Copies of this chain bind each other. A is one copy, B any other.
Amino acid sequence: MELLKNVISFSEAKRTLLTHLQPLERIERLRLSNAVHRVLARDIVAELHVPPFDRAAMDGYAVRSVDTEGAKPLEPVVLKKTGIVHAGEYPKISITPGTCVQIATGAVMPENSDAVVMIESTECNDEQVSIYSSVRKGENVTRAGEDIKKGSVVLKKGELLTPGKVGALAALGLEYVEVYALPEVALIPTGNEITKPGMKLEPGKIYDVNTYTLSALVSSAGALPFVYEITGDDEQAIEHVLGNALKHDIVVFTGGSSVGERDVLVNVLRKNGEVLYHGIAVKPGKPTLCAIVSGKVVLGMPGYPTSCLTNAYALLLPAIAKLMHVDFVIPEVRAKMGRRVQSTIGRLQFLPVKMDGEIALPAFKESGAITSMAHADGYIEIAENVDVVEKGEEVVVKLFWIARKTS
């Protein structure tokens, strides 16, 4: 029976895990309308100018700027209106000296015109347009390619598609876009004592919690959870499900809260691959296991719900982020500790807290409790070299809501 005496530090555990993972190179072709928050797998080179043509930036009259020279409020220049161009039309009229064409914002500039006099600086009687203000060449005109030049690199491989970037791809007329595939996370509940929610609970059994919290976390990170059926604590069953699950990008076992159960998993992993570590100097979440099997990272999470979920926030999320080519932005707030909390030198502590205004109140009950996490708004980290956080001390709370940004 192993008692997890050889634990490693949390930072080493995280570093070791991340070293064994590489950003996914698999590519998917998606409709642009489904691509928000995905990561570009190719540089995007513009195949057209944006805007595609010189266009009016204001409602008004398209003119030859030289014809407006000297126009003033009391000395207007009068031009003959020879037509009108709406947005979306291609103008057939050309501007000749002394003439102008009424034009809508966004419409194509007619041939020979080089500026727009805004409607507010004009007056129109029949076909006679009085221009009360002169315009420079190019005034109130957006030139073709001014926003995006044909042939330029608009967005680069690795950029996360925010709504604004999706818009740039739309402006280029792209219907599809190539992005990196999302990480597939296999979640395998183990333990003879656990029962799937919705089923009748037999005496001595408890409902599966960890598959649900981890699956929710994986989804909210934007990755894809693949939940396996509950597997009993025997080596053959675990070996079988492991073989199936290795097709995914990362494999996570949950459960096995007792030392004996953990031994079953560690034996299977030793037999099929290499165990990188088994035990982290962190509270809660010490009995966490990391192995490499057939080139894939396999994590064994602690069976206790709070331990499992805090370690998933601390270890599984950075792993997913790396596979996904992103960083997660975990919103943080500064708070004052609501009461004195003790910790242990040499061991990192994740303490779930509930926010009460600017006060952070410890929400931790025990590793086995699910309500520690259910009623918490976030958690604080108490470093390895800190043994006490005093009441009123300032702490940084990492909140349980995730956003993403380009890494």
Chain A residues at the B interface, C-beta cutoff of 8 Å? 1, 3, 32-33, 35-37, 48, 50-53, 57, 59, 86-91, 104-108, 119-120, 142, 146-148, 154-155, 161-176, 191-195, 197-199, 201-217, 219-220, 227, 257-261, 303, 305, 309, 312, 329, 331, 352, 365-366, 368-377, 399-405
Contact = CB atoms under 8 A, between A and B. Distances in A.
B154 A374 contact: yes
A31 B175 CA distance: 33
Given A104-B258, A167-B373, A173-B207, 11 more contacts: A36-B220, A59-B258, A86-B193, A90-B203, A104-B261, A154-B374, A162-B373, A163-B214, A167-B374, A171-B206, A174-B198
Nearest to A175: B198
B106 A303 contact: yes
27 contacts: A1-B119, A3-B120, A52-B206, A57-B366, A87-B193, A87-B261, A88-B192, A88-B204, A104-B260, A146-B365, A146-B369, A161-B216, A162-B216, A163-B373, A164-B352, A164-B400, A165-B374, A166-B213, A170-B207, A171-B206, A171-B207, A173-B197, A173-B207, A174-B197, A331-B403, A377-B405, A403-B403
A305 B3 CA distance: 61
Given A1-B119, A401-B162, A50 B154 contact: no
A249 to B, nearest CB: 20
Chain copies in the assembled complex = 2
A220 B377 CA distance: 22
Contacts of A217: 36, 163
Contacts of A369: 146-147
A266 to B, nearest CB: 15
A163 to B, nearest CB: 4
Given A33-B212, A331-B331, A52 B201 contact: yes
Lowest 3 CB-CB distances: which A-B pairs, in order?
A175-B198, A88-B193, A164-B373
Contacts of A215: 33, 36
Nearest to A208: B170
A155 B374 contact: yes
Contact of A399 (B52, B155, B309, B329): B329
Most buried by B among A90, A147, A154, A402: A147
B147 A371 contact: yes
A251 to B, nearest CB: 18
B373 A108 contact: no
Contact of A204 (B90, B329, B401): B90
Given A36-B220, A374-B155, A193 B106 contact: yes
Contacts of A59: 258-260
Contact of A370 (B35, B89, B148): B148
A371 to B, nearest CB: 5
Contacts of A57: 366, 368
A315 to B, nearest CB: 14
